[in-house]
Amino acid sequence: MAKLFRAAIMGPPGSGKGTISKRIAQSFGLQYLSSGHFLRESVATNTEAGVPVMTYIERSMLVPDHVMTRLMLPRLEQLRGQSWLLDGFPRTLAQAQALNSLYQLDLVISLNIPYETLKERLSDRWIHPASGRVYNMGFNPPRVQGKDDITGEPLIQHDDDKPEALMARLRHYKDVAKPVIDLYKSQGILHSFSGTETDRIWPYINSLLSTKMHIQPSNVFQTQTP
């Protein structure tokens, strides 16, 4: 059996974690787990944690660590024996330590994207709430304006993508991410990527994963080489 591969992708709001994670999952066959998606799902399904979670997301605040670990770690337990990629978790040192006590990550990708770029992207972002599918009116528009490609249902914009909320999220992200980044740097598994375009960053990530996983990716996103 091939060696299991465990990875995480970090980056500020709008940095492209979701977009890149989907490409990695499709190209390399990893299971993809997005903390934001699971949180929104728990709100939508009104599970026990749903109501307080919504309050944090609406205020652009981090959901408490114990809620996050309770949400994410059991899902990893279900994926025992499979390779996976985490998008948006861990986001604090406490979350990273909780994860570390159960699993050793092989690789962490950190995305460094300029603020102006993030602002432009998020103000253009629309979501299909039921599935979490994300569209960007410039970069990745839906086939029919305002409608989800698969279900045809209406798309919405999140309150936490408004400019004031975004500034607060970015400031907070930097403070909280620093010790997590330092931890993974000290473990020798951190790989940082800077740029303003996902399509330009992607070939480098693609190539890094091909090397680390010792496999060639199998998909349409392999159009450019660094």
Binding site for ligand G5P (CB under 6 A): 11, 13-19, 35-36, 39, 56-57, 60-63, 68, 88-89, 91, 95, 121, 125, 134, 136, 138-140, 160, 169, 197-199
Instruction: Give dist(CA 21, CA 63) in Å, integer.
Output: 21
DSSP helix/strand/coil, 131 = coil
- Shortest Cβ 18–ligand G5P spacing (Å): 3
- How many residues bind Mg ion (CB under 5 A)? The answer is 3
Nearer to ligand G5P, 67 or 208 (CB): 67
Distance (Å) of CA 67 to CA 39, 60, 73, 183: 10, 16, 10, 22
Quick one: how far is CA 38 from the chain centroid? 11
Binding mask 26-55 for Mg ion (x = CB under 5 A): ----------x-------------------
- Shortest Cβ 221–ligand G5P spacing (Å): 12
- Shortest Cβ 82–ligand G5P spacing (Å): 21
Partner from Mg ion, ligand G5P, none binding residue 56, C-beta < 5-8 Å depending on class: ligand G5P
- Shortest Cβ 212–ligand G5P spacing (Å): 21
Instruction: Give dist(CA 210, CA 183) in Å, integer.
Output: 24
Do the strands 107-112 and 190-194 form a parallel or antiparallel pair, or are they unpaired?
A: parallel
Residue type, position 158, single letter:
H
Nearer to ligand G5P, 110 or 198 (CB): 198
User: What single DSSP character describes residue 78?
Assistant: H
> Could you say whether residue 18 binds Mg ion (CB under 5 A)?
yes
Sign of the CA dihedral with 83 first, then 28, 114, and 225 last = positive
- Site for Mg ion, rule CB under 5 A: 17-18, 36
